[in-house]
Structure 1
Amino acid sequence: MPKKSFSEPDDLNCRGGLNELWEKDRQKPLLYNKKIICPVCGTEFNAKAIKKSSYRIVKKDSDFFIRYSIINPYFYDVWVCDNCGYAAIKNDFPNLSDRDADIIKEKISSRWHPKNYPEVYDVDLALQRYKLSLLNYHVIGAKASKKAINFLKIAWMYRLKEDSENETKSLIQALDNFSTAYYNEPSPICGMEKFTTMYLIGELMRRTGKGEDSLIWFSQILTSITAPAKIKDMARDQKDLVKDSAEDRPLSSDEQYNNILKDNKSHSLFAKFRK
């Protein structure tokens, strides 16, 4: 059996295993306000930030989703200007052209209604904020890589909510945008070098039912002489999972029919030699 680099999602019941993520009184002392200037309207606002020593990693999933205890950094990964409605993943928040700022003013700020955000965020609020960020990216025609990471983090929030249907839908969108980014944007993509991006594309294919396609991406990594050893190990593990699941999968009616035809042809061939 290959050694697994990651835990599978079923290894941990998110709510049952990480109840501390819902203990808001315990989380309040771990947060502080960070002063941010909105690049759209110029308003100064407070963005919630987590003290670096506060969160604890519990598990890592094979698509790079990290499971935390006590407090979850993903919940605070989107900054929102409550004055104008501009929202983006925090690392990308200041990176806005004047043209994009004008588009946001026209298409988002003109319809924006200020909201009262609580002191401590939960998965549902985080999901709302990720969707608002994604709306901003769509409005300004952001690069595929920006939409890709946003869709991926939305999928992770649905995973925490144990909503597999919406998780899969979001993973499909993430896959589509990462694939577009891979072919049209220079590396690094979302901070990932080429082979890490290739691995993630393969893994998202595996998770969305495209096992045969994922094998192509994992194999390209394994046959490369320049791919890092760690990425090769990850690709090998996931390739083995695809093969194991294919072996365990019951044959479809078409596959059964084709096998019968092959058996009949074999029997006919042997019958000629016996005559």
Structure 2
Amino acid sequence: MDKIFSGLENLGFNNVNDLKVFNDQEAEKVAAPIKKLQADSFLFDKEMKCPVCNLNFKTKSVKVNGPRVQSRDTDFFITYAVINPYFYDVWLCPHCGYAAMKADFPKIKSYQIEDIKNKISPKWKGKSYPEVYDENVAIERYKLALLNAVVMNAKDSTKSMICLKTAWMYRMLGDNTNECSFIEKSLEGFNRAYQNEDFPIYGLQRFSLLYLLGELNRRLDNDEEALIWFGKVLTTYGAPEKVKDMARDMRELIKEKSNI
């Protein structure tokens, strides 16, 4: 993927497409449009203090009773009605350009703060966002969070989850090419995380990550590799039957496709 950060030019980042998301080291549904009036009633402005520049700002947040689950995909993507919390998962400081998924936003370390101040803030051009976000707004904000994560050398699992959620946004738009490109990046990072990080890895226990590695490979038609990961799920002691059943179902899909 040559232009993973495309779309951030209007935010001041014109020469970032040569950046690698993961350094070399050892190691389909289209959502129905959301009506503005409906979504507005499930949003509120959350007051935040940026850990990078120490200035206050407000960010859109979703009320707890807002999301309505419609369906779940086999790679953990959830389709929501009325309001989509994925659209608001990235918090962005409008003053300095620091962006991260909300679970990570306050966890930035001191040396990472210096990276943001030196490499993000000088280029940052703020912008105003609409009251209600959509897939395209979410994609821009996820990409900005990914750029921040790359600049401050965040964990591979963090970058992988951003890539996966970006892929989901492209799925909602029916853009299979970009969806697969970001799934490839997510798979690369989760492979590295599996080898180098302690569990739980971004909230995933070992059996869940084994399954996800299999499913991401399956979605990229890496069927032989997918079967290996699904097999590991089925032989992992203590893996819940629900996850094992999911692995069996995906394994059967591969076998049916391949006439095995």
Report the TM-score when normalising by structure 1.
Answer: 0.83
3-state SS of 2:61 partner:
strand
2:194 equivalent to 1:188: no
Unmatched segments (≥5 aa) in structure 2: 1-27
Q: Select 2:47's aligned residue among 35, 41, 51.
A: 35
CA distance in 2, matches of 1:246, 1:46: 51
3-state SS of 2:148 partner:
helix
Q: Select 1:45's aligned residue among 49, 57, 61.
A: 57
CA distance in 2, matches of 1:180, 1:186: 11
Q: What is the 5 A alignment of 1:197-208? A: 197-208=209-220
Superimposed CA distance per residue, residues 12-68 of structure 1 (whole angstroms, 9 cap, x where no aligned partner):
4x24xx23x2x1122112110111110000011111111111110001000000000
3-state SS of 2:87 partner:
helix
Larger relative contact order, structure 1 or 2 (CA cutoff 8 Å, min sep 6):
2
CA distance in 2, matches of 1:241, 1:191: 27
Corresponding residue of 1:268: none
Question: % of aligned pairs identical?
Answer: 46
Cα deviation, residue 230, structure 1: 1.3
State the AA in 1 paired with 2:169. Answer: M
Report the TM-score when normalising by structure 2.
Answer: 0.88
- Moved beyond 3 Å, runs of 4+: none
CA distance in 1, matches of 2:146, 2:122: 18
3-state SS of 1:36 partner:
strand
Superimposed CA distance per residue, residues 55-93 of structure 1 (whole angstroms, 9 cap, x where no aligned partner):
100010000000001110000000000000000000000
2:91 equivalent to 1:79: yes
Cα deviation, residue 229, structure 1: 1.2
CA distance in 2, matches of 1:182, 1:224: 15
Corresponding residue of 2:237: 225
Q: What is the 5 A alignment of 1:83-232? A: 83-232=95-244
Corresponding residue of 1:255: none
CA distance in 1, matches of 2:75, 2:133: 24
CA distance in 2, matches of 1:154, 1:35: 25
Cα deviation, residue 225, structure 1: 3.1
Q: What is the 5 A alignment of 1:247-262? A: 247=259
CA distance in 2, matches of 1:227, 1:74: 28
3-state SS of 1:109 partner:
coil
2:72 equivalent to 1:60: yes
2:248 equivalent to 1:236: yes
| Count of residue correspondences | 233
